Amino acid sequence: MSQATTRGPSADFEILRERRPPGLIRRFLATWRHALGLLVGALDAAVKATPPSRRRGPRFRTRQLAAALARPFLDRRLRKLPFPVQFRRRLEALGATYIKLGQILSLRQDLLPREVTSELRNLLDRLPVVPFERFKELVTEGLGRPVGEMFQWIDERPLGSASIAQIHRATTLDGDLVVLKVVKPGIAETLKRDAALLKTLGWFLQLGLARYQPRRMIRELVDFTLREVDMRREADNAEEFAHNFADQPEIVFPRTYRDLSSRTVLCQEFLNGPRPDAEAIHHLPVADRDRLTQLGAGAIIQMLYRDGFFHADLHPGNLVVLPGPKCGFIDLGMVGRFDADLRRDLFFYYYFLVTGDAEGASRRLLATARSGPRSDRAGFRREVEELSRRFEHGSGFADYSLGQLILESISKGAKYRIYYPVEMVLMVKALITFEGVGALLKPDFDAAKETRSHLQRLLLQQLSPLKLMRETIEGGPQMVDALLKTPALVHEGIRLLEEARGRPPSDPGGALRSTVFGGFCLVAGAVLATQALWWPAAGLGLLGLVLALRRAG
């Protein structure tokens, strides 16, 4: 939520009636009542949606009978509603934890039907607030000091209220304008209980909905939500982002006041500026708007493909335009991380898309996938390659979002039982947000054109001799170990081949020399391949293979 726009007086929000968090058994019964209701609602909706031509046979009759027997037990207020609406209403009835999870689920167009994800975007985002006096008590409890010893002023009007925290502006004793983000009472306890129940629910849903991988999806969503309830993590995220962009003063992250923050309270610098979709942005000079798009492009590419650490809840409300112009990022509780291998694959996937290499793009996207039972990797690759090629030769970037192309590509995965982690979808959300904001700033915005120069610069950095040498040195112990083992392994393989051909090995000294050199070529080729230097890697690998086969016969 934006720190740059006051939401209005607290009267605009419903007041939260604070209660003791429900016990585990009570929460279990409520969760499972809604889960069973959701399954019955899905069954009922599936029976009603079955075309007349397919309403025959024992399978359909069994489903029809089960739906008819269960229908009277459904909530009358819900059973006549479409299934996606039932889903949203049940999440809202279960409270803040499930609303937060539903908001994340709304991004999973790769696993859930589009009509479900579209409906989940309507989940409540202006949740009830605690009264102002109670808010100050929570600040005192979280920091262990009276409010008057830390702040001159706290605004009675909330900036916003989400499922986990509530935000107010304040002024420190030194006169700095800050925002206070405080975890709502009872949320942490409820979240931990819900996490245990949701993981059990995921196991149960896996029995009937294995195609959508509910157990894996729920586990990922629970982990993301549990991280957000600890305000210290958001403080750490802000400092890590600031460190990554220390050499770029035009990319700004809020400074954290550590002495005024704790597990339940976060105090950060207030970035005072309009959102990129505000009316004031349209009156900026063209040069400033061009500069903002370049800053955004560089920041997104660096986060995703250089650092592997990115803002995972990116939308216009979490962006601030500052004088200069500068680009500010706020609300850093949800972040995504890519390990080195995944980051490299995704970088080349995006690079191949932008440069029009459909085959390379499909190969790299497949390399990042997780395969389920009976997966069809070859079929998935063919369809993604065809989709990328149609995009390249069809409507083009002017009429079709690059982020939407990526989302549609990974959405094909469920059809072929190919799955992606939630970070992939959050990455796509960041790209779509970047494209949407860019289109607001520049009517002729082209994401591929705006990011191409940043990608080329990053590619040169990836292939710089210093970087290759540093990574080679860092992998030195593994390389030495491989070199020491390779001669024995290759020589043993040659011995087995010669024995299989019915003659003893000859010239053991020459075999050893050839084996050592061939092994070195194979290992060196593998190291170069990890750096995407395919031609020298292929040459060395082929030389090593020829030497090994020559000794074999």
pLDDT tens across the length of the chain (553 residues): 434 333 344 556 777 766 776 777 787 788 878 878 888 888 888 888 888 888 888 888 888 888 788 777 777 778 778 888 888 888 888 877 788 778 777 767 666 788 888 888 877 667 788 999 999 999 999 999 999 999 999 999 999 888 889 999 999 999 999 999 999 998 888 888 888 887 777 777 766 666 666 777 777 777 777 788 899 999 999 999 999 999 999 999 999 999 999 999 999 999 999 999 888 888 899 999 999 999 999 999 999 999 999 998 888 889 999 998 999 999 999 898 998 888 989 999 999 988 888 899 999 999 888 877 788 889 999 999 988 887 776 544 445 678 888 888 888 887 888 888 778 888 888 888 888 888 888 888 888 888 888 888 888 877 666 655 665 555 556 555 655 665 665 666 666 655 655 555 445 555 545 555 555 555 555 554 544 444 455 555 555 555 555 544 4
Residue 60 and residue 202 in one domain: yes
Residue 327 and residue 353 in one domain: yes
Residue 101 and residue 111 in one domain: yes
Cα of first residue to Cα of last residue in the chain, in angstroms, is: 70
Which domain, by its residues, includes 380? 280-462
Report if residue 12 sits inside a domain: no
Q: How far apart are CA 359 and CA 401, in angstroms?
A: 20
Strands 160-161 and 165-172: antiparallel
Report if residue 394 sits inside a domain: yes
Tokens of 209: 């909905």
Please give the tally of structural domains in the chain. Answer: 4
415, 430, 462 - which closes a domain: 462
Report if residue 4 sits inside a domain: no
Report if residue 8 sits inside a domain: no
Q: How far apart are CA 149 and CA 504, in angstroms?
A: 88
Residue 192 and residue 241 in one domain: no
Residue 492 and residue 437 in one domain: no
Task: Find the DSSP H helices in 209-339.
Answer: 214-228, 231-244, 286-301
Question: Is 328 in a helix, a strand, or coil?
Answer: strand
pTM of the model: 0.74
462, 483, 503 - which closes a domain: 462
Report if residue 10 sits inside a domain: no
Report if residue 352 sits inside a domain: yes
180 within 8 A of 170, measured Cβ to Cβ: yes
Residue 356 and residue 308 in one domain: yes
Residue 404 and residue 520 in one domain: no
Residue 86 and residue 171 in one domain: no
238, 272, 306 - which closes a domain: 272
Q: How far apart are CA 166 and CA 184, in angstroms?
A: 7
Residue 248 and residue 382 in one domain: no
Residue 476 and residue 525 in one domain: yes
